Amino acid sequence: MKSAASRAEGICYLAGAGPGDLGLVTLKVKEVVQEAEVIVYDYLCNPEILSWAPAGVEIIYAGKKAGAHTLKQEEIDALLVEKTKAGKRVVRLKGGDPFLFGRGGEEAEALAAAGLRFEIIPGVTSAISAPAYAGIPVTHRDHAAQLTIFTGHEDPAKTESSLDFKQLASTPGTKVMLMGVERIGVITARLIENGAAPETPVALVRWGTTGRQQTLRGTLADIAGKVEVTGFKAPAVCVIGTVVNLRDTLNWFETRPLWGKRIVVTRTRKQAGGLSSTLRRLGADVFELPTIRIEPPKELLEFGQLVQDAHSYDWIVFTSPNGVDAFFEMFYKIFNDAREIGGVRIAAIGPATTARVRDFRLHVDLQPEEFVAEGVVRAFQKDGSVENQRILLARAEQSRDVLPKELTKLGAIVDVAIAYRTVPETEDVSGALARFREEGADLITFTSSSTVENFLALKLPWPTGLKAASIGPITSKTMRDNGLKVDVEASQYDIPGLVKAIRGFYGA
C-alpha cells in the first residue's frame, strides 16, 4: 500500500494532444509521455503519440465518439484520481486542447477536489488548425475580425440548448463549430431561422491536419443535404463565414504530390519516422505497421568481446545503421574514449549507414556505389588487395552470407559480429493493423527482406488493388520468392531512393 509521502508524488498532466498531425504535438507533451507511468487517451488522439511512451507504461483507452463511450466521464474522473492518488505519473491525452470543449476543466476539478497535483498542458486546437490545413484562415482583414467558437454537442441531459442562436446568427465574423456534424441540419436551420443569410459559405473539415483529411463545402442552406448525400461523418470541424471562399486560392495541404495515397510503412518503430515523415510531407496518408523490432544478439558476451578487440582489425564493415548503433552502444559500455578504436578503417553500405557512423565523429573510408553486399565486395576489389587483412563484419543475425564468403575468397580473415537480430513485432499501439484490415491501403513499402517475411507471417489479407514497393533488388527477390509482385523498386537502394521511386510511380 502506498504511503502518504508516495501518494504526494503522484501527478496528472491534462495534456492537449493536438488535432492529429504528430508534428503539431508540443514538446512538453512529448516530454511527459516519455516519462509517464499511466497514459489515458481519447478517440481523437493520434495513437502514434503512444510510441513515445516508455516500456511497461500502463495504457488505457477512454475514447468517446457519438453513440459509443468506452468509459463514462465520471468513470474517467475516478480513474485519474485513483491512478494519481496511487503515486503515478499520469498523462491524460485529450484531442486538441483540454480546455476547449475537452472536459478538461471537469477532470481538473475532480483532481483538485481529491487534493491531488495536476498540470495543464495546452494543445493546438482543431478549431483553428483544421481550417488552416483546409486553406481557410479563421480571421482575415478583408473578411473577419472576430472569431466565435461553439459546440454542436451539448450535454444530452439538458432539457434545452444553451446556445443563443439569435446571437450566433447576428454575430459578425467567422464561426467555428466543434462536434456537430450529426446535428448539422438542425443547427444550420436554427441559424437561418434567426437571421443568418442562407448563402453564407460553410466548410466541414474531417480528420483535419492528417492524411485522411476531407473537406466538404456548401452554404448554410445546402450543407446538411450534402452531408447526407456524401455520407460525410464525424469527426469534423465546421467553419461558417466568407473566409471559406479563400480556400480557392489557399488550399495548400490537399494539393501535395502524394495527396490521398494511403501508404503503409513496415519498418521498425524506431526507424519508421524518417520514411513516414517524408511521405507525409508529400501528402500521403501514412500509417506505420512495423513488422519487426530490433533485439540484442543472443550471444551478447561474444559480441562484446569482438567489439572490445575492434582495434586489432584492419577494417570494420557496417551493413546498416542498426549495426552501427549496436556496435557503439557496446563500445561505449567498454571504453570511455573513442580513440580506443585505434587505426581501424571503416566501410559502410549506403549513405544512411555512413551518416550514422559520422554521427559518432568517425570517418568512413569506403562506401560502395551499390548499396548491397556485392557492392562492398567490388569496392574492396577496386580499392586494392585485402589478402590477410582482418575484417570485422558487424551485421544482423539473419543476414545473407555473401560478404563473409566473398571476402574470404579474396584472402581476407573475416570475423562476423552478430550485432543485433530482428524479431516479429507483436504490439500494435497505433491501431494500424486494425486499420489495414478494415480499410486496406494503396501501397505498402518493404525496406528489407525481414520486413517482407514478418509481414507475411502476420497472415493479413492482401487488399484488392494494393501495390508493393521495394527498397532494392535483394528485398524484391524476397518478395517474388514469397509470391508478391514488385510494383515499385528503388534504383537507389535507400530511403530517399525509395521515396523517389514512389513519386515516379504516381507521377508525382
- Name the catalytic one among 177, 179, 330, 479: 179
Question: What DSSP character marks residue 489?
Answer: E
- Name the catalytic one among 21, 42, 97, 325: 42
Does the annotation count 42 as an active-site position? yes
CA 485: distance to chain centroid?
27
Per CATH, domain 295-424 is 3.40.50.300: no
The pLDDT tens digits along the chain (508 residues) read 444 444 458 999 999 999 999 999 999 999 999 999 999 999 889 988 998 999 889 999 987 655 555 788 999 999 999 999 999 999 999 999 999 998 999 999 999 999 999 999 999 999 999 999 999 999 999 999 999 999 987 654 554 667 899 999 999 999 999 988 999 999 999 999 999 999 999 999 999 999 999 999 999 999 999 999 999 999 999 999 999 999 999 999 999 999 999 999 987 656 556 898 899 999 999 988 877 778 899 889 999 999 999 999 999 999 888 899 999 999 999 999 999 999 999 999 888 889 899 999 999 998 887 777 788 888 888 777 788 899 999 988 877 788 888 899 889 999 999 999 887 777 776 778 888 988 899 999 999 888 898 899 888 889 999 999 999 998 999 999 999 999 999 998 888 999 999 999 999 7
pTM of structure? 0.77
Q: CATH class for domain 10-124?
A: alpha beta
Beta-bridge mates of residue 147:
174
**Residues sharing a CB contact under 8 Å with residue 296, sequence separation 6 or more, in sequence order:** 326, 420, 421
Does the annotation count 64 as an active-site position? yes
* 3-state secondary structure (DSSP) of residue 376: helix
262-291+425-505 CATH fold: Rossmann fold (3.40.50)
CA 155: distance to chain centroid?
33
Would you say the CATH fold of 295-424 matches that of 262-291+425-505?
yes
What's the burial of 157, exposed, middle or buried (CB within 10 Å: 0-12/13-18/19+)?
Answer: exposed
Alpha-carbon distance of 463 to 260, in angstroms, equals 17
128-254 CATH fold: 3.30.950
- Name the catalytic one among 28, 30, 64, 477: 64
Alpha-carbon distance of 145 to 327, in angstroms, equals 59
- Backbone torsions φ then ψ of 213, nearest 5 degrees: -55, 140
Q: Give yes or no for a contact between 469 and 445, defined as CB atoms under 8 angstroms apart.
A: yes
CA separation, residue 252 to residues 204, 215, 246, 255, 276 (Å): 16, 13, 11, 6, 20
Does the annotation count 77 as an active-site position? no
CA separation, residue 228 to residues 114, 221, 223, 246 (Å): 45, 13, 9, 25
* 3-state secondary structure (DSSP) of residue 391: strand
Domain ranges for the chain, please list them.
10-124, 128-254, 262-291+425-505, 295-424
